[in-house]
Structure 1
Amino acid sequence: MNWLSDNFYVLFDYITSATLWVWIGKTALRIAVIIIFAFVLKNVGKKVINAIFKERRNMPVKLSTNRREQTLKNLLNSVLSYGIMFIAIMMILDTFNVPIKTMLAGAGVAGLAIGFGAQSLVRDVIGGFFIIFEDQFSVGDYIEIGAIEGDVVAIGLRVTQLRSYYGQTYVIPNGNIDIVTNYSATNGFAMVEVNVPYESNIIQIENMIEETLQSLPEKYDMFVGTPVINGVQALELSNYVLRIRAETVPVMQWAGARAIRKEVKEDLFEQGISIPSPRMVVYPHDEQEPRLADR
């Protein structure tokens, strides 16, 4: 009982001593200063980064695309935030006399051991650096990775997020990105094949379609130049196939193909030329001549 009471008085004296409260006050003040300094440094750093990219945007010669600048700016802001947070935590731990050097040395050894088991994570991070700094694609680009395609929503050091045409969001590890098709990097080409019946005059049909194609750049802003007819692509059972090729602005080749199909179909229909439908030949038992039946 005396041992318990003696320890209680010792603890009570320690809690009520001025030395403890002075240390608590100094420690709390130092932590508050560290947090405020980190907050101010983070805001100043973000303003500096934004000012740098704003100055680059006002330069007469554009060194990179706006989407890539936005991606790099977001990445630098993230690195700045994590770096300042790490330094602030180390300074706070040092306030409590935590052996920082010993912790860092131990973390280095542990990191080396963990690195062998986290090779996929390291591969993802390295892949993210190459994607960003080589400008393989940027946020807002429409790309295809394997069997997945969509708009780039976000690019991180570990994963890339795509949003498909139907609204699905795909999260792809950067280390798994091998071959990328970037539809936003250059102009696209709309390829359209028109079925024309053999009964029609091919020269007449080509002249009609060329007149239609000449008017498309004035109707649609997506076309770069006038679409052209490549010629007869194939000879089918009941029709031949004309191929049309049109250069469009990036990511608009599919809309351009739809516009070509619409305009060509309408003009041919006005000229009395219909798109051929599949046909089959029927041989009735009571007739000598074959009879054509539409299907």
Structure 2
Amino acid sequence: MTGAEPATIQVFPWAPACAADSGSWCSRVYGWTHNDFLARSADVIVDRALAIVLIVLIAVVARALLHRAIDRLVRGAAGGPSRVPAVLRRRAPAGLRQIAAPLLSERRVQRANTVGSVLRSTTSVVVLAIASIMVMAEFGLNLGPILASAGIAGVALGFGAQNLVRDFLSGMFMLLEDQYGVGDVVDLGVATGTVEAVGLRITTLRDVHGTVWHVRNGEIQRVGNKSQGYAVAVVDVPLARTVDIAKAVELAGQVAAEVAATEDVARQLLEPPEVLGVETVTMDGVTLRVTAKTQPGQQWMVQRALNAAITKAFDRAELPRPYAAVPPSGPPSGPQSGRSEP
């Protein structure tokens, strides 16, 4: 007897019929366990196990490929060209561009990583759900009631959590469109302040009084970003209607040029200040407007500097203002004051 001869499996009369089929899983399992139930179920168990393993492998590979594609998309978005306004690229000093470039790049990377994390989580949930349904189908479960129940639950959840879904989708689009980021000064309609955190559901900002506002993204109907790209400092100086407009415009231009030459203000300017002239005319006086294009978020510092210098110069030049102060009236002075007639 050679070692190549197959082993003979003893089949008892009460053994299942499939046990006599040599080479089948039923015969092998019966030879190992001599268990009737396991032997009869062997072929089904092995076939389904192989199908389940194949489903799991395909799900793992699909998830890995999708995550790899998302990672490549994120790297491309993080390393792509930034949306820098043309005025900042053309007219900003070289030092400002060198400072702003890393900040814009970091912000772009953070935004891309956030969106990539959400996309990876979403694809993982979708692949896991599909794989679970296919595995349950392999076990012979009736998926009709399960899918119907899931559909009803999804509809109920959609109605109940529609605000949450709206907040989530609004947050996604805000991140994708780069409407604002941490550190920006924004007007969201319901609140105005500096953005401290941007989430998929809530945006947190702090106003000038130190109050922290938590605004749901789904409630934001408009966004006014006061510190994206560049800003404009606007100075309105009220004057009396009798003022010499030409003299006031000339003096405002000289003072604005002097302020722009100072070291602190010069670093924040993108263009020299410009005197636009008379902005409004009313029965009480006229308003002279001066503007200056500045770095994002620095318009208020430049505006205060220009306002203080122009006001001081106008006072020295004795240019009349509206509502000039009138000396308070008092009792007549003289030797007869306070005396009554006899």
Query: TM class, shorter-chain normalised?
Result: 0.5 to 0.7
Report the equivalent of 1:22.
none
Report the equivalent of 1:229.
275
- How far is 1:149 from its partner? 1.5
Which structure 1 segments of 5+ residues have no match?
Answer: 1-18, 20-29, 289-295
Report the equivalent of 1:252.
298
- How far is 1:117 from its partner? 2.5
> Could you say if the C-alpha distance between residues 56 and 199 of structure 1 is closer, same or farther in structure 2, counting changes exceeding 3 Å?
closer
Q: How does 1:64-143 map to 2 (within 5 A)?
A: 66=105, 67-68=107-108, 70-81=110-121, 83-84=123-124, 105-133=148-176, 135=177, 137-140=179-182, 141-143=184-186
Give the 4+ runs in structure 1 shifted more than 6 A.
42-46, 89-95, 97-100, 197-200, 274-277
Report the equivalent of 1:187.
230
> Could you say if the C-alpha distance between residues 104 and 275 of structure 1 is closer, same or farther in structure 2, counting changes exceeding 3 Å?
farther
CA contact (8 A) 2:78 2:108 kept: no
The CA distance in 2 between the partners of 1:80 and 1:146, in whole Å, is 33
The CA distance in 1 between the partners of 2:81 and 2:277, in whole Å, is 45
- How far is 1:118 from its partner? 2.6
- How far is 1:284 from its partner? 4.2
CA contact (8 A) 1:228 1:244 kept: yes
CA contact (8 A) 1:68 1:138 kept: no
- How far is 1:174 from its partner? 1.8
Q: How does 1:209-220 map to 2 (within 5 A)?
A: 209-219=252-262, 220=266
Root-mean-square deviation (Å): 4.6
Secondary structure class of the residue paired with 1:151: strand
Taking structure 2 as the reference length, the TM-score comes to 0.54
Which structure 2 segments of 5+ residues have no match?
Answer: 1-37, 39-52, 87-103, 335-342
CA deviation vs aligned residue, 1:206-239 (integer Å, no higher than 9, x gap): 33321121234433232232223333445787x8
Report the equivalent of 1:51.
75
> Could you say if the C-alpha distance between residues 123 and 45 of structure 1 is closer, same or farther in structure 2, counting changes exceeding 3 Å?
same
The CA distance in 1 between the partners of 2:128 and 2:221, in whole Å, is 38
Could you say which structure has the higher strand fraction?
1
> Could you say if the C-alpha distance between residues 258 and 154 of structure 1 is closer, same or farther in structure 2, counting changes exceeding 3 Å?
same
The CA distance in 2 between the partners of 1:218 and 1:99, in whole Å, is 80
- How far is 1:181 from its partner? 1.1
> Could you say if the C-alpha distance between residues 206 and 83 of structure 1 is closer, same or farther in structure 2, counting changes exceeding 3 Å?
same
CA contact (8 A) 1:216 1:223 kept: no
Matched to 2:75, the amino acid is: A
- How far is 1:112 from its partner? 0.9
Secondary structure class of the residue paired with 2:164: helix
The CA distance in 1 between the partners of 2:124 and 2:192, in whole Å, is 36
CA contact (8 A) 2:239 2:320 kept: yes
**Identical-pair percentage:** 23
- How far is 1:143 from its partner? 1.3
> Could you say if the C-alpha distance between residues 50 and 180 of structure 1 is closer, same or farther in structure 2, counting changes exceeding 3 Å?
closer
> Could you say if the C-alpha distance between residues 105 and 275 of structure 1 is closer, same or farther in structure 2, counting changes exceeding 3 Å?
farther
CA contact (8 A) 1:212 1:264 kept: yes
CA contact (8 A) 2:242 2:320 kept: no
Secondary structure class of the residue paired with 1:161: strand
The CA distance in 2 between the partners of 1:171 and 1:125, in whole Å, is 15
> Could you say if the C-alpha distance between residues 184 and 201 of structure 1 is closer, same or farther in structure 2, counting changes exceeding 3 Å?
closer
CA contact (8 A) 1:192 1:260 kept: yes
The CA distance in 2 between the partners of 1:99 and 1:216, in whole Å, is 80
CA contact (8 A) 2:71 2:116 kept: no
The CA distance in 1 between the partners of 2:180 and 2:187, in whole Å, is 13
CA deviation vs aligned residue, 1:82-113 (integer Å, no higher than 9, x gap): 54367569879969x89695755532220112
CA deviation vs aligned residue, 1:131-175 (integer Å, no higher than 9, x gap): 334x26132332111141123344433332323345443222222
CA contact (8 A) 1:222 1:249 kept: yes
CA contact (8 A) 1:223 1:249 kept: yes
In structure 2, which of residues 272, 289, 309 is the aligned counterpart of residue 263 of structure 1? 309
Say whether 1:164 aligns with 2:202. Answer: no
Taking structure 1 as the reference length, the TM-score comes to 0.61
More deviation in 74-83 or 200-209?
200-209
